[in-house]
Structures are given as C-alpha cells and as structure tokens.
Amino acid sequence: MARIIINNGNAGTLFLHSELITHFEADGNYCRAFYADGKEQDLWLSMKRLEEILVSQLPTTAPPFLKVGRSLIVNVRYIVRITPQKHEMELHGTEMKEHLVLKASEVALTGLLDYLTVKLSNQNTH
C-alpha cells in the first residue's frame, strides 16, 4: 500500500494510505483528505503543494489522483459515474458504506470524462 508523507506543521508528520483516500478538497488555503471509511483529515498545505507531493511520492503502481477543477483531487479508483450535465461525480468502493456524490463544474467533469475514456480505451487495446 503506497503511503503519502506530509509534514502537517505542528500536527506532526502524516503517513497517509493512498488507496484508502477517495479524494482531497481545498478548504481555503488548506486541504482536507477524505477516506473511504468516511473519516476526514485536515492538511495544513495548499492544493498546489499537495499536487506536488502526490506527483513526487506516488509510484506509478499507486492509484492515480487527478485534479478536477480548482478545488478537488480525486482517486480515480473510486469513480463509478460522471454526469457533467448535473455537475456530479459519484464515488464508491468496497471500503465505502455508501455512494458519495461530489460537485464540480461541467467543464472540469467533461475534461475528466474525456481523459478517462481515452486512458481506459488505450488500456483495453494493449
């Protein structure tokens, strides 16, 4: 299980299990990690810094995280439905008790849908 190491200021250093995180949301100048079991973790860093950490620390075998709009980074492993017209993305996984619906712009969700469609069709042809 891949770990993400984050220096969380006075709250100490965090070792997050990437596979258990459904998504990250910006919260002002900081971020929040959301876990499949419903728990949340405040992160004392910007979304930009979080993106840098994810790129530098996660091996290619880890579930990929993709930025959706300005304030959301999603673990694509949990995406089960994208409905750009409704500005919604639905997440679910075996670790989750219930489905989670996230809101994002139609443009961001359409971009995500296009990217995943190409990526998955390329995987299926190789």
* DSSP E strands, 28-83: 30-35, 40-43, 65-67, 72-75, 79-83
* pLDDT band, residue 95 (cuts 50/70/90): confident
pLDDT attached to residue 62: 57
pTM above 0.95, yes or no: no
Q: What percent of the chain has pLDDT over 90?
A: 71
Q: Do the beta carbons of residue 50 and residue 42 sit within 8 Å?
A: no
Domains, the chain, with CATH or none: 3-125 (2.40.50.1020)
User: pLDDT for 27-77, tens place per residue?
Assistant: 999 999 999 999 999 999 999 999 999 989 987 765 689 999 999 999 999
